[in-house]
Structure 1
């Protein structure tokens, strides 16, 4: 069958066979099908959608397009977590050592970030000497030894997703539920963990803008995982304002360390406990969320979670002294305090605008070749629901070049004040489980 027939078939709203989907992915990865034809098929999928069987077949074809990470050498139950991304989301840096301190095995392959701030690897590389790239055997040995490793992707995992995502990004075909679900789940399944927790964000600072879409995406990914024989749970969380107070790589590492020491922001700590609880229950390490939360609170209080983080930093060549004294993390050349221009109560923060502003001063990448300045970013001193007086500090900006007036105007445009406290939306909106 000619590939153009596959395009026409989907354009007309018909379902593609398992073999047609496999041949599409195989031919594209091998360079036998050109970008322009795949672009046409992707656009047809955006308009016509895919049913559950097609989406599962696409996920499996993408997963099998390269290497698979076999975690059978790891002793114990492996559990992974993934976030669909948001402003100030440094959750992995806290929940991974917390879960490891409770007996879970965390063999996590993470990535870098495009957009407002860096990904998990960029954040960890704020720690001097931290090595994000481990040989496969060293990765397994570290997880067996200390229960935790966070490293960059090695080998040739899911090459189909790399090619397809790059093409979707420049052809207006990112916004498709089946394509999003298959992209995320192909990587999670290829990474080998037996249990997976997905944190699906929605709101102004997330890709999914509505609760309904976030829940639908969560259900679709959970169904794919179940069909593939994995235990998958989903937590749907709000990203209408930044998570925690820090936006920017070294700043977020400091906030993660503060949280592991029991002094993190209330909203961020709450989410870490919820995600960590779901990881322990989904992996079968504890019976229920109540027991899981108790265990997690214990490892925060007794320092065991912090020690796991230290052990990972030490094992991967990082300077452990920054964990004891986060002031040793990279510092910006300049800091500026932005103050309230009037009395009032914060009733809204535009998370995406604040993330974009952080990117503009070096905390994120516009293109994959941009260098991140880990010391730059924004630390919020007030959030939605807080009332402030004129002159009170709203945020501290860490930057290496002078702030332009346009940037400062953009900051004030991102924060709305009114005469009464704003209603902070609940952070956790839905929990979906398959157990």
Structure 2
């Protein structure tokens, strides 16, 4: 095999065979492929594409470039992946809910990326919570509790880690083929039997239009199935934040309010239940997605999912009484201010990306790799699309570390909201289902 020949073939519109793409993936992991060749490969794929068979081959090759977990559990091993959005804290509810329904959920998650928050950053807002479990610890916790939310070890899909860094500096991040291989190589390395995908669409997502979201969802589902994993996808709304909070500790607080029934966020509850229903149906734990949705709703309402979350927190180093004392244990910001609306009217649009970047500016995300995240900062009580706002009424509440940061975030929030004189309907949560 020769890297130059593979790159030239893709450049000229040809489709290299599966073995060639798997060889290239191994070369990314072991250094046989140089940085220059990896960059040329990424650009060729962006411009000419790989086709469905090529996506499957690259994905499985990247999956097999490192450790691939295998399980012997008394129930199906399942997971969910979201393409990222603002206030998207579904994973924290869904993992314990699926476990309460008889599934086993080894959820390998990521950190904040760009304007979107990361599941690991949210969980690390809980004092003591550890996301870096060894494989032995993960296996023991999964067998005992049914779920764990952890970071990927260096042994998981090393080819993706190398190619991801190359894509970031070579203007090739947008390739559907490479996005697909990146997402799925890590997820499938977890040894899943079933996977449900949440592809976000709207101003707060990476995919801004339905056409873009549909193209990615179709690619992900076809590739995962081609790799042997039962998979379906939901395209869900991200024209506004899913939760009414954006920021790590603030989102955990909203999760706890919903899990405990103290103040249920209906949008967060509903998306969690529908995604869970898909996962249970794929895994054979429900006859239909609707039946699965009803089962997830039941464990959320009964408190079984909340109890599972509390056990997971304790097992991963967090407080053993977190379920009872979360409001006292989560970190709080020193500067808290309401953001007054400069106009009256109905909220007709929200720039979700701008809200996410406001949280990053507060210190709740990373400007660059290695930045330290402040878990206490962010936005809460966010007004939603269709809500009527009086002049001076709060669009949201800013939680900041300094007065200057609060001032900056307030201006950014005001600019992110568009108000109009006429009422507008709240957008639907579920836009499309792809199987």
Asked if TM exceeds 0.5, the reply is: yes
Structure 1 CA distance for aligned equivalents of residues 27 and 102 of structure 2: 42
Structure 2 CA distance for aligned equivalents of residues 245 and 320 of structure 1: 27
Q: What secondary structure does 2:385 align onto? A: coil
Q: What secondary structure does 1:301 align onto? A: helix
Q: CA deviation at 1:112?
A: 1.6
Aligned to 1:150: 149
Aligned to 2:386: 385
Q: CA deviation at 1:158?
A: 0.2
Q: CA deviation at 1:331?
A: 0.5
- TM (norm. structure 1) is 0.96
Within-5 A mapping of 1:224-243: 224-243=223-242
Q: Quick check: 2:85–2:117 contact (8 Å CA) kept in 1?
A: no
Structure 1 CA distance for aligned equivalents of residues 250 and 179 of structure 2: 29
Q: What secondary structure does 2:223 align onto? A: helix
Aligned to 2:193: 194
Structure 1 CA distance for aligned equivalents of residues 267 and 385 of structure 2: 11
Deviates more, 1:130-139 or 1:167-176: 130-139
Structure 1 CA distance for aligned equivalents of residues 292 and 28 of structure 2: 44
Q: Quick check: 1:218–1:234 contact (8 Å CA) kept in 2?
A: yes
Asked if 1:135 is matched to 2:137, the reply is no
Asked if 1:417 is matched to 2:419, the reply is yes
Cα deviation digits, residues 139-158 of structure 1 (max 9, x gap): 11211112111112235010
Cα deviation digits, residues 66-118 of structure 1 (max 9, x gap): 1111122x321111110011111110001111111111111211122232354
Unaligned stretches of 5+ residues in structure 2: none
Q: Quick check: 2:207–2:213 contact (8 Å CA) kept in 1?
A: yes
Asked if 1:109 is matched to 2:108, the reply is yes
Unaligned stretches of 5+ residues in structure 1: none
Aligned to 1:282: 282
Aligned to 2:298: 298
Aligned to 2:183: 184
Structure 2 CA distance for aligned equivalents of residues 25 and 382 of structure 1: 45
Aligned to 1:332: 333
Q: Quick check: 2:386–2:425 contact (8 Å CA) kept in 1?
A: yes
Aligned to 2:215: 216
In 2 relative to 1, CA 11–386 (structure 1 residues): closer, same or farther, beyond 3 Å?
Answer: same
Asked if 1:401 is matched to 2:420, the reply is no
Q: Quick check: 2:280–2:286 contact (8 Å CA) kept in 1?
A: yes
Cα deviation digits, residues 120-150 of structure 1 (max 9, x gap): 1111111111121222122112111121111
Deviates more, 1:400-409 or 1:37-46: 400-409
Asked if 1:9 is matched to 2:9, the reply is yes
Asked if 1:120 is matched to 2:119, the reply is yes
Structure 1 CA distance for aligned equivalents of residues 268 and 322 of structure 2: 21
Aligned to 2:317: 317
TM superposition outliers: structure 1 runs of 4+ over 6 Å? none
- TM (norm. structure 2) is 0.96
Q: Quick check: 1:117–1:365 contact (8 Å CA) kept in 2?
A: no
Cα deviation digits, residues 302-353 of structure 1 (max 9, x gap): 2111101011111112114343233220011111111122321100000000
Structure 1 CA distance for aligned equivalents of residues 145 and 371 of structure 2: 34
Cα deviation digits, residues 352-401 of structure 1 (max 9, x gap): 00000000001101112000000000013421100011222211111101
Q: Quick check: 1:345–1:420 contact (8 Å CA) kept in 2?
A: yes
Structure 1 CA distance for aligned equivalents of residues 23 and 142 of structure 2: 36
Q: Quick check: 2:69–2:190 contact (8 Å CA) kept in 1?
A: yes
In 2 relative to 1, CA 381–38 (structure 1 residues): closer, same or farther, beyond 3 Å?
Answer: closer
Q: CA deviation at 1:213?
A: 2.1
Structure 2 CA distance for aligned equivalents of residues 307 and 407 of structure 1: 36
Q: Quick check: 2:180–2:219 contact (8 Å CA) kept in 1?
A: yes
Equivalent pairs, count: 432
Q: CA deviation at 1:202?
A: 1.5
Q: Quick check: 1:347–1:418 contact (8 Å CA) kept in 2?
A: yes
Q: CA deviation at 1:2?
A: 4.1
Q: Quick check: 1:377–1:398 contact (8 Å CA) kept in 2?
A: yes
Structure 2 CA distance for aligned equivalents of residues 320 and 350 of structure 1: 38
Q: What secondary structure does 1:247 align onto? A: coil
Structure 1 CA distance for aligned equivalents of residues 47 and 371 of structure 2: 33
